[in-house]
Structure 1
Amino acid sequence: MSSKRKLIMPTPEEDAAINRGIAADPDTYELGAEEFKQLKKRGGRPRLASPKVAVTIRYDKAVIDAFKAGGPGWQTRMNEVLKKAVARKHA
């Protein structure tokens, strides 16, 4: 599947003007090699000790609707209910 958007690259003159603007900005600077290496090391969120597992599962529509009715965070709430049910069974 290809995007129908066309990427328009800046002309050399536009690119030079952009770089002049960056150089003149007192709130930014070009990173050194060591700083750039440090940025590359910290990609994304820290790893969880117990990461979640992606699955495909089917629930009754009424169950999903009930959790979604609580607003954003419904999947987290559903996970908490399931964890409590598992804990009760193994207690």
Structure 2
Amino acid sequence: MRPKNLPADIHWPDDKEEAQIQRGITADPDAPEWTDEDFARARPAAEVVPEIVAAHTQRRVRGPQREPTKVAISLRLDRDVLDNLRASGPGWQSRANELLRKALAET
């Protein structure tokens, strides 16, 4: 069943395609369908391979910032202003900083 809120640019398989996908899954010897016994024996990854889980869940610490050091703040903006800044793509916060810098220089 196709979800109601699916974006238009995402392909959702029709019944024929879905049947073909399911046949492929069933035929894959490396990925058998789990039984109730399989689920009963299953253990969390942190119990089975704790060193791998720990390596992937450690919080990465950002290195020291180049000068000048920026300060994290909370700032309320009008929705349309924020939407326009974000729509400009990655780096929008730095561009917002430059816009504020230019506006202050003009005053």
TM-score band by shorter chain is: 0.3 to 0.5
TM-score, with structure 2 as normaliser: 0.41
Task: Give the structure, 1 or 2, with the largest relative contact order (CA under 8 Å, sep 6 or more).
Answer: 1
**TM-score normalized with structure 1 length:** 0.48
